Structure 1
Amino acid sequence: MKNYVEKNFPDTFEARHAGTKTGHSDRGEDWNYLDDQLTESQRWSTWPATEKLMRGPLPYPEFVIEDAGAIDTELGVLKTGKEADVFLIERATAEQRALLAAKRYRSPEQRTFNRSSTYTEGRSVKRSRDARALKNGSTYGRLVEASRWANSEWQYLRLCFAAGAPVPYPVQVMGTEILMEFIEDPESPGAAAPRLQHVRPDAERLGLYWEQIVEAMKIFARLGFAHGDLSPYNVLAAGERLVVIDLPQFVDLAGNERGAGLLRRDCQNICAWFRPRGLDVDGDELLAELIAEAW
């Protein structure tokens, strides 16, 4: 990790943390002074401000830093998307550091994703005030909408991770930002894993990938959901391991009348990537398998 950060972001950890040794400095507990030492790309760790349900499932992985004196440093953009952007974050103390992916949802007027009602059919809004605001499109309603998508992805990440699905570990959520596991490319330590669309696996690995993506889709189906937007662009290839990302539009197969159609589309998209590469797979056969898992 250190080599990657030093190579790609020459503003090194030591320089960024000069005088801020896990919340202490030559001036002792002078927090105003310590705040002045942070750059525009830094903040104190937001972990202490999160409650139990805003944190990932127990037990926490080793890369989860709970120290209140840790500093979050934004290192750059990993991905831009229709409704959110993903940034690379280093969370660190003097003794420990970890790279995380921070997914930050945009407000509705900044998004280019305009088919949300297709996916949210069957979902409920608990607070009547929020439901009215969403319907009226007020300023508060736009905030609710952005938070709603972030919260949806957070809940689906927790649910899927607990069920054993290959998704990033969800570290924490605050408002419209989700911090999650940074999926690293084991063949290029410290670099982000490529999307499935951009890899060229040999026959053996191709078969392994197929088994993994089918099992992932089966887990989703057993939970009662379809990904809803599954494609080679929403799957990361971390060496021999596949990781499915971008879950906010998860579709309730029972509560959404479009659920079966979106599941079929997921199957067709995945099979369309595997067939030209040598696997004789059929989208309708995969759909039948998944429906059997769901019911």
Structure 2
Amino acid sequence: MTSHRDLPADWPFDWEPDAYRSGPESGSLEGIDPGFTFDFRSYDDVGDGQRWTTWFDVEPLMRGPEPRPSWVVESRGAIDTELGILKTGKEADVFLVERADPHDPDSAVVMAAKRYRDSNHRSFHRAASYAEGRSVKRSRDERALKRKSTWGRIVAAGEWAIAEWDALKRLYTLGAAVPYPVQIDGVEILMEWITVDGETAPRLAQTRPERDLLASYFDQVRDFLALLVQDGIVHGDLSAYNILAAGDRLVVIDLPQIVDLVGNPNGMDFLLRDCTNICGWFKARGLEVDEQELFGELMAHAF
């Protein structure tokens, strides 16, 4: 430690070591402007299957809408830990990722990480029909998409990730029952993990609800579709397989194919198909519903 004997003769400040010492001996930082002090914590290096949080690697617009849920971890010292794969799909795989600050373990949260594949490793059906009416911002990317070059395949994966990200943000802001979108980084979307008693919520198709709950579920799906139609959009691929049953609450997932009801020439067909798929599932379980009646009701909301 520097002593007063080491200071130059023309040092302009009085040397009062007890007034400037920090630590257990003094218990304070007397004489130091608080603006020049800060808390310091050390962190160990991350291990296998871990990475430093990517929260600060993305631009603010690539983070979820505000106000954010209290469970979102925004600490710079947080670590993301891979917990394993949750599900595989046609166009993407979903993993579980824990984000936690080692100095604040009680704030740890497990999220679903959806990672899109490039077109060499996915089989997204009817992709062209869903993409009609969408625009690609950069002409170079648009040309690459048309040529289906290597870069085009990378762009395509990113476009589908962005499409789902935009849909999640839009629907969450509308108040629709969708997972909270935490952030997007390239082809990876981190979002709320929907659970029941600490386990992944089952798909609606896996449930056998009693009649009262079945009727409540249908009302929720109808309200979800009406909310979208009022905003001029259609899910486009809705079925009992991309709706989660979180107790008595339904949450809709898998949203990259959201289409404009009017701007997409297939918009009306997609809406009718959503109605047909949903009503077919509920009718098979004894609920008296009609897809044409539902379609007409939704069209009344649209215009």
Scaled to the shorter chain, the TM-score interval is 0.7 to 0.9
Amino acid at match of 1:198: Q
Residues in 2 aligned to 1:257 and 1:23: alpha-carbon distance in whole angstroms? 56
Give the Å deviation of 1:278. Answer: 2.1
3-state DSSP of counterpart to 1:232: coil
Residue matched to 1:15: none
Taking the TM superposition and a 5 Å limit, the aligned residue runs for 1:223-262 are 223-262=231-270
Residues in 2 aligned to 1:284 and 1:115: alpha-carbon distance in whole angstroms? 24
Residues in 1 aligned to 2:63 and 2:150: alpha-carbon distance in whole angstroms? 28
Question: Do 1:167 and 1:244's aligned partners in 2 also have CA atoms closer than 8 Å?
Answer: yes
Residue matched to 1:111: 122
Residues in 1 aligned to 2:58 and 2:209: alpha-carbon distance in whole angstroms? 40
Identical aligned residues as a percent: 56
Q: Choose 1 or 2 for highest CA Rg.
A: 2
Residue matched to 1:191: 199
**Segments ≥4 residues shifted beyond 6 Å:** none
Question: Do 1:268 and 1:283's aligned partners in 2 also have CA atoms closer than 8 Å?
Answer: yes
Residues in 2 aligned to 1:177 and 1:223: alpha-carbon distance in whole angstroms? 26
Taking the TM superposition and a 5 Å limit, the aligned residue runs for 1:117-156 are 117-156=128-167
Q: 1:87 aligns with which of 92, 95, 120?
A: 95
Give the superposed CA RMSD: 1.3
Give the Å deviation of 1:24. Answer: 2.0
Cα deviations by residue, 1:31-88 (Å, 9 ceiling, x for unpaired):
xxx43x411x111110011211101110110110000111111111111111000001
Q: 2:280 aligns with which of 263, 266, 272?
A: 272
Cα deviations by residue, 1:108-147 (Å, 9 ceiling, x for unpaired):
1100224210101111111111111111112111111000
Amino acid at match of 1:258: N
Report the number of matched residues: 261
Pairing 1:56–2:64 present: yes
* Structure 1 unpaired stretches of 5+: 1-21, 26-33
Pairing 1:38–2:38 present: no
Give the Å deviation of 1:23. Answer: 6.8
Q: What TM-score do you get using the length of structure 2 for normalisation?
A: 0.84
Indicate how the Cα distance of structure 1 residues 87 and 271 shifts in structure 2: closer, same or farther if over 3 A, else same: same
Residues in 1 aligned to 2:125 and 2:236: alpha-carbon distance in whole angstroms? 14
* Bigger helix share: 1
Residues in 1 aligned to 2:225 and 2:251: alpha-carbon distance in whole angstroms? 12
Question: Do 1:157 and 1:170's aligned partners in 2 also have CA atoms closer than 8 Å?
Answer: yes
3-state DSSP of counterpart to 1:92: strand
Question: Do 1:165 and 1:219's aligned partners in 2 also have CA atoms closer than 8 Å?
Answer: yes
Cα deviations by residue, 1:199-258 (Å, 9 ceiling, x for unpaired):
111111111111111000111111111111100000000000000000000121111111
Residues in 2 aligned to 1:23 and 1:255: alpha-carbon distance in whole angstroms? 53
Residues in 2 aligned to 1:23 and 1:205: alpha-carbon distance in whole angstroms? 50
Q: 1:282 aligns with which of 284, 290, 301?
A: 290
Residues in 2 aligned to 1:283 and 1:114: alpha-carbon distance in whole angstroms? 23
Give the Å deviation of 1:183. Answer: 0.2
Pairing 1:101–2:112 present: yes
Q: What TM-score do you get using the length of structure 1 for normalisation?
A: 0.86
Amino acid at match of 2:47: L
Amino acid at match of 1:260: M
* Structure 2 unpaired stretches of 5+: 1-39
